[in-house]
């Protein structure tokens, strides 16, 4: 597949790394020559320096025979024009654009992206993706990472094991016997910085970070088995009233189980916009690191604090302040992945990386076969793929134990019709089933091959 990626920032870089690693023909375009050199030196990609929306630049990038263009520059307008030029001049079949401004994303204007208007096939909104991720973190406060699959019927949970975890030093095979009715399976373990897919005889140890697939109805029981207490979130303080903070507050207001939220926003104009948009949420104008203001927001009585300003360091410090003041749970928005190792020492419970959520969203739309969802884990260490099994897939009609999965891949859940089951070695994968597979990054191409449609399907 020939792909042009416009924008060599963190998102463009990660997408290029994924696609070039899978032997796709990737060209990356950016105005910054240093970023292009960094990409071409480190990755197996071609680089073009220039304006992504200029027809002559796209021509040099090979747009005439490109299969897809991904516009992920820092400018919404450049991304939109790039897709328009790619469609009108070069007839590029598939166009994906990252758009940040909420005005472009309002539902009443969705007609804008029709092929005869502004021909964008997929619009990715980082703010909306982050707001969704924040809600999922709040829904499973004991997990450091969480994502929904299979139409909300299955959940991926990232859990850090403590010394008092009741199932440490127990082989995974034995856990399956002990909790035979539990619809959950451990698919990944990160130990001393290394992520791997465990074998049935592997044991879990304190300080391990594990990834578990669980049926949504069994999430609380799963967390309890791994030594986590589950508590309903009723009071939340959101620090930062920009696009992300406002989106989260609006979503919390719309939930059936009523959650009391307070928003702290430093910029007065932005605080007024948030106050006008929200009905039941209290908006406080001030610095989220000001202890007096945190006390005014009753931070000591809050169940969680969500720090989502546009500055990583502010988010970290505000979260630390909130925990010092008595808030039991802190979630941070962190753009710089190199800050992730600080989360443990700072006692921050979970973090959201907007770039990782955006990369996951884009990958969801460029995978082969009938891939319905992709979630990127850690610093692109692994992926979780949700896909429908077609009759021509190499795994169709086989039992799990007979499928030639690579070492770094495990099947975490299977949906047959409307029913989600925990897979065992004897589970037969049939045409039409939807499977969720955890795969280390190096094994993703092989997993895709197992999911891929052969040419005779068409």
Instruction: Tell me the per-residue pLDDT of 154-203, one tens digit each, with 9 for 90 and over.
Output: 999 999 898 888 889 889 988 888 888 889 999 999 998 899 999 989 99
Q: Which residues contact 292 (CB under 8 A, 6 or more apart)?
A: none
User: In the 8-state DSSP scheme, what is residue 389?
Assistant: P
Task: Quote the pTM value.
Answer: 0.72
Helix (H) or strand (E) holding 114: none
Query: Helix or strand or coil: residue 179?
Result: coil
DSSP structure class, residue 174: H
Nearest by Cα to 242 from 282, 214, 272: 272
The winner for highest mean pLDDT among 23-27, 44-48, 378-382 is 44-48
As a dihedral over the C-alpha atoms of residue 436, residue 135, residue 303, residue 283, rounded to 10 degrees, the angle is 170
- Let me know how many helices (H) and strands (E) the chain has, helices first: 13, 24
Closest CA to 437 of 223, 251, 259, 213: 213
Q: 316-364 pLDDT, tens per residue?
A: 999 999 999 999 989 999 988 788 888 888 988 888 888 878 887 787 7
Instruction: Estimate the crossing angle of helix 243-253 against helix 126-139, to 10 degrees.
Output: 50
Distance CA 236, CA 220 (A): 20
Q: What are the backbone angles phi and psi of residue 98, rounded to the nearest 5°?
A: -90, 120
Strand partners, 236: 261, 304
- Whole-number pLDDT of residue 202: 92
pLDDT at 458 over 50: no
Q: How far is CA 454 from CA 25, 76, 318, in A?
A: 21, 37, 52
**Which domains are delineated in the chain?**
2-124 (3.40.50.720), 130-225 (3.30.70.1450), 235-356 (3.40.50.720), 364-457 (3.30.70.1450)
Q: What is the mean pLDDT of the chain?
A: 87
SS3 of residue 58 by DSSP: helix
Q: Is the pLDDT of residue 78 over 80?
A: yes
Q: Residue 284 has which token pair? A: 């406080």
pLDDT for 55: 96
Look at residue 367 in the predicted model and tell me its pLDDT.
Answer: 57
Of these ranges, 58-72, 95-109, 129-143, the one predicted with the greatest mean pLDDT is: 58-72
Q: pLDDT-based confidence at 370, cuts 50/70/90?
A: low
Distance CA 101, CA 223 (A): 37
Q: Are 299 and 288 in contact (CB under 8 A)?
A: no
Instruction: Render pLDDT for 261-282 as a digit per residue (tens, 0 to 9).
Output: 999 999 999 999 999 999 989 9
Residue 23 binned pLDDT confidence (cut-offs 50, 70, 90): confident
**For residues 25-44, average pLDDT:** 93
**Residue 149 · residue 384 · CB < 8 Å:** yes
């Amino acid at each position: 597949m020939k792909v042009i990626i416009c924008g060599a920032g963190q998102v463009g870089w990660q997408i290029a790394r994924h696609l070039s690693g899978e032997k796709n023909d990737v060209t990356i375009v950016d105005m910054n020559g240093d970023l292009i050199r960094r990409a071409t030196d480190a990755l197996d990609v071609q680089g073009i320096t220039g304006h992504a929306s200029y027809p002559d630049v796209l021509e040099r990038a090979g747009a005439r025979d490109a299969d897809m263009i991904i516009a992920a520059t820092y400018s919404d307008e450049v991304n939109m024009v790039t897709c328009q030029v790619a469609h009108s001049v070069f007839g590029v079949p598939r166009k994906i654009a990252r758009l940040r401004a909420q005005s472009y994303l309002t539902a009443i204007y969705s007609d804008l992206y029709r092929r005869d208007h502004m021909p964008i096939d997929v619009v990715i909104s980082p703010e909306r993706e982050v707001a969704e991720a924040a809600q999922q973190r709040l829904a499973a406060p004991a997990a450091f990472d969480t994502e929904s699959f299979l139409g909300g019927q299955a959940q991926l949970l990232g859990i850090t094991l403590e010394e008092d975890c009741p199932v440490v030093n127990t082989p995974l095979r034995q856990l399956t016997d002990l909790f035979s009715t539990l619809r959950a399976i451990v698919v990944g373990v990160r130990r001393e910085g290394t992520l791997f897919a465990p074998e049935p005889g592997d044991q879990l140890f304190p300080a391990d970070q594990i990834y578990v697939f669980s049926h949504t109805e069994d999430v609380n029981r799963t967390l309890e088995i791994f030594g986590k207490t589950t508590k309903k979130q009723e009071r939340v303080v959101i620090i930062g009233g920009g696009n992300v903070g406002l989106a989260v507050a609006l979503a919390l207001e719309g939930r059936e189980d009523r959650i009391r939220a307070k928003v702290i926003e430093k910029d007065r104009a932005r605080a007024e916009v948030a106050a006008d948009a929200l009905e039941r949420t209290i908006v406080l104008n001030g610095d989220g690191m000001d202890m007096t203001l945190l006390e005014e927001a009753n931070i000591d009585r809050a169940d969680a604090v969500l720090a989502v300003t546009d500055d990583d360091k502010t988010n970290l410090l505000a979260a630390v302040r909130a925990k010092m003041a008595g808030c039991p749970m802190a979630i941070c928005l962190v753009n710089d992945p190199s800050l992730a190792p600080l989360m443990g020492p700072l006692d921050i419970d979970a973090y959201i990386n907007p770039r990782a959520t955006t990369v996951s969203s884009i990958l969801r739309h460029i995978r082969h076969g009938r891939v319905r969802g992709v979630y990127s884990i850690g610093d692109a260490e692994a992926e979780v793929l949700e896909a429908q099994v077609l009759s021509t897939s190499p795994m169709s009609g086989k039992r799990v134990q007979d499928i030639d999965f690579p070492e770094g891949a495990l099947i975490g859940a299977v949906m047959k019709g409307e029913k989600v089951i925990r897979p065992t070695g004897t589970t037969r994968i049939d045409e039409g089933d939807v499977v969720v597979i955890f795969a280390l990054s190096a094994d993703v191409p092989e997993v895709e091959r197992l999911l891929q449609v052969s040419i005779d399907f068409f």
